[in-house]
Structure 1
Amino acid sequence: MISTAAHRAAGADLRARYARLPEGRRVRLAKPTSNLFRFPPSGERSARLDAGALNQVIEIDPAARTAWVQGMTTYEDLVDATLVHGLMPKVVPQLKTITIGGALAGLGIESSSFANGLAHESVREVEALTGDGRLLTATADNEHAELFRGLPNSYGTLGYAVSLKIDLQPVGRFVALRHLPFPDAASCADAIGSICRDGRYDGSAVDFLDGTVFHAGEQYLTVGRFTDEAPEGRGPSDYTGQQIYYRSIRRRARDLLTTRDYIWRWDTDWFWCSRALGAQHPAIRPFWPGRYRRSDVYRRLVALDRRYELSGRIQAWRGLPAEEPVIQDIEVPLERLAEFLDAFHAEIGITPVWLCPVRLDAPSGWPLYPMEPDRLYVNVGFWSAVALEPGQPMGTHNRRIEQLVADLDGHKSLYSNSYYSTEEFWRRYNGPAYRELKKRYDPGDRLPDLYDKCVRER
């Protein structure tokens, strides 16, 4: 925890250091970890602003159910601070080192999003350092309401969150799970609609809802509810060691996790992606230290692989075709989910795939990620690589997904590679609104342009 006075001093210091950065060079935030899969180009010469010290919880107010935190605070640290009060953020993105400011500037989603929307919709107030060097406070109804609504999906191109006040919710000691199988995407989509409409399943309240698609004929919805009691003679499962959570979905119709372990159930094995690094191999896992079985470690290994092109060299040495990374989260309206999955299975073929229903909580929506507030969407997450046929350029599969999502009236998150033309990008991500925000809060273009950062730099 940090005192209010110390936080104010840290914010003033950040602003002063920003003012001293050389003119004529774009400014980027220096972070010790990242969950983006857009890697800056080699030789990139942006000025770096180190905000790493702004990583503390300032205050937890159990009565008001709010947290006041610095922008670089990780959800791992925030969850630890709130659980001791029997509280948690309304939406906790899946990976421990996602920061609260990062979930605002990007998009954070999890299994409570069917009821609570995206992570930034729990933000009451944000203190931001804007591109023009001001340190200001934005809320939904003050003179900077336009910035408050425009920061989500701006990826640090309008300003940086110095601190945020967010809403919390009460929790139980455990989360009881049911894994429900479905033989096809259409029946799975029907069940999603029913559960989200009623907020209940089989007579019980639903606090969490997500899904896992193992292949076109095998998908599961996982419904979770808070409880303070464990079934007689059975304690909670532990998927932080040798057991692997996503594999349990196929084997166990019911399960029980502590609330903390449920929140981080996907982090230990980076959903299922740790298998590509050998961490799930039965001969390797016992010797892979537990402190290194976490998403930020895996991401660093992938960054090293990208930098030195190790996987590509091994593929070539083995005489195998080149592979294109296909690492994306997209949203499609619920009624188009089966159509998307059918095409995805036929043309892309990545498995497993994650499903997460989401309906925006704010009636006015968010201008830079223009989902319809009254419409139920399903986030589909897929993170792997797909072989390229002879003559296919890098980006072939990602471009196909972008077109498919557009055809189905959906949206794509921008944390990974994108291939949109300038015109298409600004049509999909509200170019007029962005340009007005840029004019007001970064007229000197000290921060990167959103299209440059999310599309051109790959």
Structure 2
Amino acid sequence: MAWKHHLIKWLEDNRGLVIIVFCLPASFIFDFGLRIKNWFYRAIASSPNYHNNRVNDIQRKIQDWNMQSAQSRKLLCTSRPNWLSLSTTFYPKNACHKIPISLYDILEFDEANLTVRVEPMVTVEEITKFLIPKGYTLAVTLEIADATLGGLAMGTGMTTYSHKVGLYQETITKYEVVLGDGNFVEATADNEYSDLYKALPWSHGSLGFLVALTLKVIPIKPYIKMRYIPVRGQKQYCDKIREVSGATDKNTKNVPDYVEATIFNKNEAVIMTGDLSEYDPNIKINTLTDWYKPWFYKYVEGFLTQGEHVELIPLREYLLRHNRAIFWVVESMIPFGNNPLFRLLFGWLLPPKPAFLKFTTTPGIRAYTFTKQVFQDIVLPINELERQIDTSEMLFEAYPLLVYPCRVYDRGPASGQLRQPNKKYIVPGTDYAMYNDLGIYGVPGQVKNKKPYDAVESMRAMEKFTRDVGGFSFLYADIFMTRSEFEEMFDLTLYEEVRVKYGAVNVFPHLYDKVKPEIDVFQVARGASVESVK
């Protein structure tokens, strides 16, 4: 109907107004309700002392499922709603047998061994509130407060400390898992379940149900001494990123504790290096997450004209510095969101809750985000950084770009879903290559400028480049690969063996089926509308 078409067009053209008038207040109320629900659950029904009882209940439910006839059994998945996950996809859980996994507690802090044991639904926000007052933080702490530690364990994550320790999976010492037959196992790097330990990262719940994990923590100081270094010239800033991350030197003693870069255009970037620090009266403190302050990436952009700058940032504020604007994704929703008046009046409502945004995603909105936005984290060899930027610019015309350097260890063949780094990328004298996360978020330039843009063609070209250089895509975002292309990017040798050995075949969805979009990518490429192929 014509009125419906005009309404949708008006909503798209006035998206920022709609989000301010409806989404932000509703998101705030929605989040408040979730917090009350979780508080009530923890106060009444939850306690670390009852962890074993909760795990036993999950085992019983799986054993009951196993008692059904093979013909009537559906594949298993968690009952957690799609809208509560940070994935951009909507896995069809209604086609599965859903098992409730209500595990929200921090179970044990082992200061002597520098580890913390948690249930999978503990969030980044909760673990930072727990650890930082004790003088510790996770070795890899994602910047998004709502991310769950279990979700990161079954997927992956990295942060600005990853140039020292690698991906999130490198900081996990133990997985506690309930398998498809209801048996409980503990998987570590050197016990009888070491093969399962290697295959669980990047498995996205396709091998078993995670019921607890043990993570490494590091001692901290109260502040980060942050240095902002503006650099002009692509080769100059790429070389500087490689230098400060230790990509060219095995001696990491003088490498900063935290490293990241924001690339604002092909020729300009700001590199940020941070070191754990005590209070220094000679250096100004910046509480940068105050609701009325500029969004972090906009604040960083100012140093392109102001020049190099040093400041102290309270550690927890540093760790969550990108949360308020969800890096720069909120700009595509609220183009005027960084306006000082808006920040003063409404900044306290940010960010819109990812759970609420997914909860309210209609087929039309999903079509919009699928075809007119890009939201990707892609991990690529840092020696290819110039080519990464050139390829991204050609395909998406989208800036800023996020760069996090990260070690990727050579664990040998068939040691997990990540393929061995090419020997030419290995840092001399080490067992790792330096890669980097290339974060591409927002509305492509072609869409902004009302030029033709083919999301499927562009993303498939980016994925081919990624495969060609030995990189890999984070699987929380939409993928555009065929099954064979997916298996070219990821090494599923051990994964398939573990699927058989631990009884996951015909019990849990396959990894590819779990992470591929609910939208038929290839019908869209042939010209069908997104809504018609869901």
TM over 0.5: yes
Q: Does 2:317 align with 1:261?
A: yes
2 CA distance for matches of 1:342 and 1:141? 42
Q: What SS is found at the alignment partner of 2:432?
A: coil
Q: Is the 8 A contact 2:332 2:443 kept in 1?
A: no
Which residue is 2:10 aligned to?
Answer: none
* 2:343 corresponds to: 285
Structure 1 segment 20-169 matched on structure 2, within 5 A: 20-21=64-65, 23-31=72-80, 33-41=84-92, 44-51=94-101, 53-169=102-218
SS class of match (2:403)? strand
CA contact (8 A) 2:208 2:504 kept: no
Cα displacement (A) at 1:200:
9.2
Match of 1:338, as an amino acid? E
Aligned partner of 1:377: which letter? Y
Distance, in Å, in 2 between the alignment partners of 1:13 and 1:258 is 41
* Post-superposition offset of 1:303: 5.3
The 3 A distance-change label for structure 1 pair 84 and 29 is: same
Change in Cα spacing, 1:325 to 1:448, as seen in structure 2 (3 Å) is farther
Which amino acid counterpart does residue 385 of structure 1 have in structure 2?
Answer: V
For the residues of structure 2 that align with 1:430 and 1:205, how far apart are their CA atoms? Answer: 31
* 1:313-392 matches, cutoff 5 A: 323-360=371-408, 363-364=411-412, 366-372=415-421, 374-386=432-444, 387=446
Name the residue aligned to 2:487: 426
Query: How many angstroms apart in 2 are the aligned matches of 1:370 and 1:206?
Result: 28
SS at 1:457 equivalent: coil
Q: Secondary structure at the match of 2:134?
A: coil
Deviation at 1:348, TM superposition (A): 1.3
Matched, 1:395 2:444: no
Q: Which has the larger radius of gyration?
A: 2
Match of 1:221 in 2: 271
When you count helix as a share of all residues, which structure comes out higher? 2
Cα–Cα, structure 1 residues 126 and 446, in superposed 2: closer, same or farther, change >3 Å? same
CA contact (8 A) 2:207 2:504 kept: no
In structure 2, runs of 5+ residues without a counterpart are 1-41, 304-308, 422-430, 520-534
SS at match of 2:78: strand
Shift of 1:454: 1.6
1:196-211 → structure 2 map (5 Å cutoff): 196-197=245-246, 206-211=256-261
2:402 counterpart SS class: strand
**Structure 1 residue 411, shift from structure 2 partner:** 1.4
Give the match for residue 17 of structure 1.
61
Partner Cα separation in structure 2 for residue 98 and residue 133 of structure 1: 27
Identify which range, 120-129 or 249-258, moves more after superposition. Answer: 249-258
Q: Which residue of 2 aligns with 1:236?
A: 286
Q: Distance in 2 between matches of 1:89 and 1:311?
A: 34
Residue 11 of structure 1: how far off its partner (Å): 0.9
Give CA deviations for 1:137-173 in whole Å, capped at 9, x if unaligned: 0000111000001001111111122111111101111
Asked whether the 8 Å contact 1:105–1:156 carries over to 2, the reply is yes
SS in 1 for 2:516: helix
Give the distance between the partners of 1:347 and 1:396, measured in 2 at CA.
Answer: 9
Provide the C-alpha distance between the structure 2 equivalents of 1:254 and 1:221, rounded to a whole number of angstroms: 12
How far residue 401 of structure 1 moved from its aligned partner, in angstroms, is 0.9
RMSD of aligned residue pairs (Cα, Å): 2.7
Which of 407, 414, 417 is 2:468 aligned to? Answer: 407
Deviation of 1:350 (Å): 1.0
Aligned partners of 2:378 and 2:472 also within 8 Å: yes
Take 2:339 and 2:250, find their aligned partners in 1: how far apart are those partners?
38
1:407 CA drift (Å) = 2.3
Contact kept, 8 Å, 2:104 with 2:122, in 1: the verdict is yes
Q: Is the 8 Å Cα contact of residues 323 and 385 (structure 1) preserved in structure 2?
A: no
DSSP 3-state at the match of 1:157? coil
Structure with bigger strand share is 1
User: Which residue of the partner structure matches residue 221 of structure 2?
Assistant: 172
Deviation of 1:403 after TM superposition, in Å, equals 1.2
The residue matched to 2:408 in structure 1 has which SS? coil
Task: Tell me the alpha carbon deviations over residues 259-283 of structure 1, each in whole angstroms, 9 at most, x when there is no partner.
Answer: 0101111111101111222243445
Which residue identity lines up with residue 261 of structure 2 in the other structure?
Answer: G
CA contact (8 A) 1:326 1:397 kept: no
2:301 to 243, 246, 250: 250
Structure 1 unaligned blocks of 5 or more: 316-321
Conservation of the 8 A alpha-carbon contact between 1:131 and 1:157: no
- 1:274 maps to which of 300, 305, 330: 330
1:318 corresponds to: none
Under a length normalisation based on structure 2, what TM-score does the superposition of the two structures give?
A: 0.77
**More displaced, 372-381 or 248-257?**
248-257
**Cα distance in 2 for residues equivalent to 1:199 and 1:230:** 31
Partner of 1:441: 502
Please state how far the C-alpha of 1:360 moved relative to its aligned partner.
2.9
**TM-score, normalisation: structure 1:** 0.89
SS of aligned partner of 1:399: helix
Distance in 2, Cα, partners of 1:129 & 1:29:
12
Is the CA contact 1:128–1:163 (under 8 Å) kept in the aligned structure 2? yes
